[in-house]
Amino acid sequence: MLKKGLLTSVIVKEVRHIFRDPVSCLLLFLMPALILILFGYALSFEVHHMNIAVMNPSHNVEAERLFTKIDANPKINVTQRIESVDQMDAAFAKHNTRAVVVYDDGIDIFVDGTSPTLIAYAESLLTNIISDFWAEEYHTDALNTDVKTPQVRFLYNPSLKKEYMPVPGLVLMIFILVSSIVLGTSINKEKDHGTFKLMRMTPLTNLQIIAGKSIPYFIISIFHVLVVYAVCVYFGIAIKGSLALFFCLCILYALCCMSLGLLIASLCDKPLEVLILCWIVLFIPNVFLSGFIFSVDSLGFPLKQIVSALPGTAFIDAFRGIAYKGTGFIETVGPFVILITETVLAFFISLIGFRRTLPK
């Protein structure tokens, strides 16, 4: 009876400990639920909402019937009509267009070659719809009919070089690791070991201490930006847009990651808590929901709107636009606004958090 009573006490103690510790609750309840939602419902390699543009320069009636059939497919949204090839780059840059179907002397399908998860799917989906269209038009098998066979062309990465695919996502992970996780755990090591209180005994303010802790990691982030550029040059990945804009994007994303790492550090007391929260809140959503592994177009409408506000999604969209498509600031102003807003908000909220937990 004594042993049974002691065992019950240990069980009760552990249950209380679990529900008293927010990080344990996150790991035990939120993490499994997040994995189930992401991989069981939200994420897939199948695209559900792909935006395309169409072009009919000869105003062919048959082309209009084809475009109507394409737009009727629930997985495709015809969002724009363009009048000339000169408007194609703007369609891809400004309107989140994934493909353009041109019906003239023949049928040409132009696919965004910078999005690895969309290349094969967009080609297969559109060619199947066109084949079905010819079968309905001629009441026979389209493969045995003398009809126009679509020609698929890949823009911005015509040779489909595999090096183009992982670079933005790898840069994303590097900055989350260096600028968020390592910085956040480093600050909380100071809090855990009591050295932060010693630094607070100096004339320095919280802002100056945080700046002193952050500047070395910012310099390391700049070093990694230069390494990323060197890797792009080595693998023959030309930065088609402005180099200044490219470096500004990478530095801004590094600052955003640093601010988010500081925010998490201001809410936690232990380095392990910072590490766990950075993985749950920053690493997993930004890696799996940013378009690096799974296409954002595979998500449902409500979730897609939320995901578009993630810093990783904004960074990858802007990176592909500037580096691969040669877009300028006007075309990428949306991602820049998201990154700047989240950087400023996270930084000032983290200052409030440090002021609350570490008063002068």
Q: Go through the domains of the chain in sequence order and give each one's CATH number.
A: 50-160 (3.40.190), 163-357 (no CATH)
Amino acid identity for residue 27 in this structure? L
Residue 114 to residue 23: CA distance in whole angstroms: 38
**From the centroid of its chain, how far is CA 117?**
13
Query: CB-side exposure of 218: number of CA atoms within 13 Å?
Result: 13
Which among 103, 271, 250, 262 has a CA at the least distance from the CA of 190?
271
The low-confidence residues of the chain, meaning pLDDT below 70, are 1-7, 9-11, 13-15, 17-19, 21-48, 94-95, 116-117, 138-148, 162-163, 200, 294, 297-301, 356-360
pLDDT of residue 342: 93
The string of pLDDT tens digits covering residues 41-83 is 555 556 667 888 888 888 888 888 888 888 888 888 888 888 8
Query: CB-side exposure of 292: number of CA atoms within 13 Å?
Result: 24
pLDDT of residue 360: 47
pLDDT of residue 79: 83
pTM, two decimals, is 0.77
| Beta-strand pair 151-155/76-82 | unpaired
The string of pLDDT tens digits covering residues 305-332 is 777 888 988 998 899 888 888 888 888 8
Residues ≥6 apart with Cβ < 8 Å to 16: none
pLDDT of residue 105: 77
pLDDT of residue 142: 46
Residue 282 to residue 305: CA distance in whole angstroms: 17
